[in-house]
Amino acid sequence: MTEKKLQKGSQYEHLDIDNNGIITDGEMAIAQKMEQLQHQREMNQNLDKMQDQQRMMAWVAMGSMVLFVVAMMTPFIDVDRVNQLSGFLNTFFVSQAAVVSVFMGATAYSKRNNDLSVQSK
């Protein structure tokens, strides 16, 4: 069986880590492992960004509830308007509270799952 060669300027030349002109099975395995780790790192970064985003949304939801309550207690907003908007305000508070509680529930759930998966190893 003839020895295989890479074409000139091949995109796989960098796989020859020790630069001896031979790409061994080991070097290919290392390259594959590096690729997997890189992919894993990117997935973790995306997950991290998503969690930051969700945390921010929960804070905004909680902050807006507090802000609305405080705003309604000030003399700038008259009681008539609050009465007129009571339907909207009910829905608003329930949905904002739902965002916060789902965030907390999901955080606790995923934390519990992570703890269990660590224990089982």
- Binding residues (CB under 5 A) for Ca ion: these are 16, 18, 20, 22
Given the complex with Ca ion, which of 7 and 20 has the nearer CB atom?
Answer: 20
Map residue 112 onto helix, strand or coil.
helix
- Taking the complex as a whole, the smallest distance from the CB of residue 63 to Ca ion amounts, in Å, to 58
From residue 117, how far is each of 16, 33, 41, 109, 113 by CA, in Å?
A: 37, 23, 19, 12, 6
Query: What is the closest distance, in whole angstroms, from the C-beta atom of residue 21 to Ca ion in the complex?
Result: 7
Q: How far is the CB of 6 from Ca ion (least distance, A)?
A: 12
Nearer of residues 8 and 121 to Ca ion, judged by Cβ: 8
Residues 62, 96: contact at Cβ < 8 Å?
A: yes
